[in-house]
């Protein structure tokens, strides 16, 4: 109850702080008022409160009132996040965000406990081990999902098209992210599966394309970005550049001039202009949408699958003195056409929906991949 009250207080405080005509004195007065309210809560509230947890909730309330992607990370969560970006971490293997106060799955990562259990992009997590999620911050929900390796967790989700809630029992594991997988399909199609954009993704994809080209066995390519929740912007730019010979890849715009930037492709398409199909779905977000959108705008690739997620903002991780950090939206990115994909996503050139309830990527039930193969074989 105290956490909910603190969130309401911090939201009211934020509203006044951001008022256009507020003077500096008014801002400081509101800060003093906020401190006074906290003091009264500490002295007068019916139950004794944990002041540290209360302040964490207040900080989260402030950040999450801005947008679904800004959040506070405690020192423990910040440390785990750094491990995740480098390619190994413990957990379930899902990327989550907030939507209207509810935790939403952006994408499950390939070959992780969540993916194997059947969690899908777009699922809304309503309970974690019988604890109601609604009303909790994203950080609080993530904390509930974390636990020791080998321990079991139960997720209750709501899914589009399903009348009843679905329950999944999942065992936590150390997540080994192999972001790049390749295979020669039908003896002539270079298949590249990218599951995330971590610090090694660009280097790995370049190496695999060079192998295909050296052996002269890939006549066309499939870049599979389905269920890829994104990652590092720098890697999205590098990977887009591998398939482009020139032109703008992406731009970012912000109220800070230093964040207004444009990135362009260097001369030299690693695949020498060979036909390229890019697979996307609702689990393709952020960096995936940069790549797919750039290749579509330049008519370099045929996009096939389903509309992407629509996460068109850039977050910076800003370290704090307590060894924690805040993830803060600092800019929005725009496709070469000037379009923003925020809340809209990137649409496929050929729309192919998942046909089977047992649909799994890169299996015999994968009708989207099968369609792409037939398209390339003519």
Least confident span in 2-16, 67-81, 124-138, 259-273: 2-16
pLDDT of residue 263: 97
Write down the residue that tokens 């689990």 correspond to: 283
Cα separation, 174 vs 172, in Å, equals 7
Least confident span in 13-27, 46-60, 273-287: 13-27
Average pLDDT of the segment spanning 108-121:
91
pLDDT of residue 18: 53
The residue extents of the domains of the chain are 2-64, 88-176, 180-377
Stated as kind and residue range, the H or E segment containing 334 is: strand 325-334
What's the pLDDT band for 23 if we cut at 50, 70, 90?
A: low
Structural domain 88-176, CATH architecture: Roll (2.30)
What's the pLDDT band for 3 if we cut at 50, 70, 90?
A: low
Considering the chain, what percentage of its residues have pLDDT values greater than 70? 91
pLDDT of residue 139: 77
pLDDT of residue 78: 83
pLDDT of residue 261: 95
Pull the structure tokens for residue 246: 């020139």
Q: At what angle do helices 138-145 and 51-64 cross, to 10 degrees?
A: 120
Residues sharing a CB contact under 8 Å with residue 64, sequence separation 6 or more, in sequence order: 70, 71, 98, 137, 138
Q: What is the CA radius of gyration of the chain?
A: 22
pLDDT of residue 8: 47
Is 180-377 a domain of CATH 3.30.700.30?
no
| pLDDT at 342 exceeding the cut of 70 | yes
| pLDDT at 109 exceeding the cut of 50 | yes
Least confident span in 30-44, 211-225, 253-267: 30-44
Average pLDDT of the segment spanning 25-44:
84
Q: Can you give the pTM of this predicted structure?
A: 0.79
> CB-based burial of residue 222 (10 Å sphere; 0-12 exposed, 13-18 middle, 19+ buried)?
buried
Write down the residue that tokens 């008014």 correspond to: 26
Does residue 295 contact residue 243 with C-beta atoms inside 8 Å? yes
Least confident span in 173-177, 235-239, 297-301: 173-177
Pull the structure tokens for residue 303: 């996009």
In the predicted model, what is the mean pLDDT of the chain?
88
pLDDT of residue 20: 46
pLDDT of residue 65: 86
What's the pLDDT band for 114 if we cut at 50, 70, 90?
A: very high
Average pLDDT of the segment spanning 249-274:
94
Count of residues making up the chain: 378
Tens of pLDDT, residues 81-107: 666 555 555 689 998 988 877 899 999
Tens of pLDDT, residues 126-153: 999 999 998 788 878 888 888 888 899 9
pLDDT of residue 15: 53
What's the pLDDT band for 53 if we cut at 50, 70, 90?
A: confident
Tens of pLDDT, residues 173-203: 988 778 999 999 999 999 999 999 999 999 9
pLDDT of residue 132: 92
Residues sharing a CB contact under 8 Å with residue 78, sequence separation 6 or more, in sequence order: 317, 319, 323, 324, 325
Considering the chain, what percentage of its residues have pLDDT values greater than 90? 58
């Amino acid at each position: 109850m105290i956490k909910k009250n603190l969130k309401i207080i911090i939201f009211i405080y934020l509203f006044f702080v951001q008022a256009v005509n507020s003077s500096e004195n008014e801002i400081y007065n509101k800060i003093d008022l906020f401190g006074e309210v906290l003091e009264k809560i500490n002295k007068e509230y019916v139950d004794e409160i944990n002041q540290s947890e209360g302040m964490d909730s207040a900080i989260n309330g402030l950040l999450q009132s801005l947008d679904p992607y800004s959040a506070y990370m405690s020192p423990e969560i910040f440390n785990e996040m750094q491990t995740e970006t480098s390619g190994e971490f413990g957990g379930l293997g899902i990327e989550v965000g907030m939507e209207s106060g509810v935790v939403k799955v952006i994408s499950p990562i390939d070959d992780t406990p969540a993916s194997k259990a059947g969690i899908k992009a777009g699922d809304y997590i309503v309970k974690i081990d019988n604890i109601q999620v609604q009303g909790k911050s994203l950080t609080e929900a993530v904390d509930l999902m974390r636990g020791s390796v080998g321990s079991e967790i139960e997720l209750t989700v709501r899914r589009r098209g399903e009348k009843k809630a679905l329950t999944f029992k999942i065992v936590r594991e150390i997540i080994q992210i192999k972001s790049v997988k390749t295979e020669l399909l039908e003896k002539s199609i270079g298949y590249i599966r990218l599951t995330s954009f971590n610090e090694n993704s660009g280097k790995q994809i370049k190496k695999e394309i060079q192998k295909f080209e050296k052996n002269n066995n890939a006549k066309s390519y499939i870049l599979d970005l389905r269920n890829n929740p994104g990652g590092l912007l720098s890697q999205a730019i590098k990977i887009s550049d591998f398939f482009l010979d020139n032109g703008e890849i992406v731009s970012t715009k912000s109220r800070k001039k230093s964040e207004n930037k444009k990135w362009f492709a260097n001369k030299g398409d690693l695949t020498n202009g060979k036909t390229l199909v890019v697979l996307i779905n609702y689990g393709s977000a952020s960096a995936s949408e940069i790549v797919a959108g750039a290749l579509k705008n330049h008519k370099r690739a045929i996009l096939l699958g389903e509309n992407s997620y629509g996460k068109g903002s850039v977050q910076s991780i800003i370290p704090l003195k307590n060894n924690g950090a805040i993830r803060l939206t600092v800019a929005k990115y725009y496709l070469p056409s000037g379009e923003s994909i925020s809340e809209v996503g990137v649409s496929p050139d050929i729309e192919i929906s998942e046909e089977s309830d047992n649909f799994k990527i890169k299996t015999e039930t994968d009708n989207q991949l099968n369609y792409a193969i037939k398209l390339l074989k003519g």
